[in-house]
A and B are shown apart, each in its own frame.
Chain A
Amino acid sequence: MADNPQSAATDEQLVQAAQKGDMVAFEELVARHRDKIYARAYSMMRNEEEALDLSQEAWVKAWQRLEQFQGDSSFPTWITRIVINLCLDQLRRQKRRRTESIDEMDEESGGVERQLPVVIVNPTEGLERAELRKRIDEALGKLSEAHRTVIVLCEFQNLEYKEIAKAMNCSIGTVMSRLFYARRRMASLLADLKKAE
């Protein structure tokens, strides 16, 4: 896309143009940040199709609300928040359809995680990038939705505990507990994958 004059523009310039209705500018913003938005949706949903749909829905919503974007945060941060909210809504809808399981009750009090031995050896040391991604993917896939969500919001979105609590509609104490047990479970899962080599 070297011949595209939009590719030299900054995000701010593209946003300003898009706010005036310039779809070409908006397409350039999509091209720049689509991987990040899709990755965030995939991290939360663990389903390629759902992640694609929700990430595209986020872009449509962004276009419709573009006038509300004041530039208080960066554009990628703004659009990432939109996709996170869409994923959280979707997860809540899915949760309403399910009955509460024992696993979900253990998310805050720590079920098996309380009994897990501490992993001192770095389970991902010396791994190739692709192998590391595969292992983390597998481990993230084995976490409960609440544990995975709290990991994504803290580790990938870098939100503070209070911001996570607001997004997940729970207390800061619950966030801290969930995050602690989620990390303990991740460490254990990564160690198990290393042993299984």
Chain B
Amino acid sequence: MKHEVELRLQAWVDGQLPVHEADEVARLIETDAEARALLTELKHTRAALAGHEDSITLPESREFYWSKIARAIEREQPKAQAVETSWLQHFRRLFIPAGALAALLLIGMLAGRQTASSNVPYELSDLVADSDTFTFTDEANGTTLIWFSYPVENELAQPDDSDIL
């Protein structure tokens, strides 16, 4: 018997043969003794294997088996939390200075608009009370300078340290 026919016979036993091919195999089984013998063998093998795994049981008690799983879960959880924490820390490290910079730019732009609407050629003002940030706007030249001081977090920073935007 050709291997291709053997495979079709097997697919028929497994119920995975397309309908149009199933009739052909059914006819073959009726007429070919070799095909019938192979079919019998395949069916016996399938029947022998059916339900085999049901007889396999865990060689450990419920408590012991679970204790190992529970320990592994506990071991993995702090790792996952640590990864999350370090990601958050990284995000904060980047986001906070970037956010502060964006806020200052926004304040600067708003202050620029306010002074542009008045007739005073230049203005020197505190932007936010007690913020150690003030601007100088020269309308004639169309420039706005903003001074702000870093918070005294860094001990090495000098009291008059400032940035100019």
Residues of chain A whose beta carbon lies under 8 Å from any beta carbon of chain B: 23, 27, 30-31, 34-36, 38-40, 42-43, 48, 52, 55-57, 59-60, 63-64, 110, 118-120, 122-124, 129-130, 132-133, 136, 151, 154-156, 160-161, 176-177, 179-180, 183-184, 186-187, 190
**With a CB–CB cut-off of 8 A, which chain A residues contact B34?**
118
Chain A residue with Cβ nearest B57: A35
**With a CB–CB cut-off of 8 A, which chain B residues contact A130?**
55
Q: Find B49's partner among A23, A36, A186 (CB 8 Å cutoff).
A: A186
Chain B residue with Cβ nearest A183: B45
In contact, B14 and A154 (Cβ under 8 angstroms): yes
**With a CB–CB cut-off of 8 A, which chain B residues contact A155?**
46, 49-50, 52
In contact, A190 and B69 (Cβ under 8 angstroms): no
Quick one: which of B77-96 are within 8 Å of A by CB? Answer: 80
Q: A56-B68, A133-B52, A177-B7 are in contact. List 4 more A-B contacts (CB 8 A).
A: A23-B70, A39-B53, A118-B41, A122-B44
As a 0/1 sequence over residues 103 to 117 of chain B, the CB contacts with chain A under 8 angstroms (1 = contact) are 000000000000000
Take A48-B59, A160-B16, A183-B45 as given contacts and tell me if A60 and B10 are in contact as well, using a CB distance cutoff of 8 Å: no
Quick one: which of B21-61 are within 8 Å of A by CB? Answer: 34, 37-38, 40-42, 44-50, 52-60
**With a CB–CB cut-off of 8 A, which chain B residues contact A60?**
69, 72-73, 76
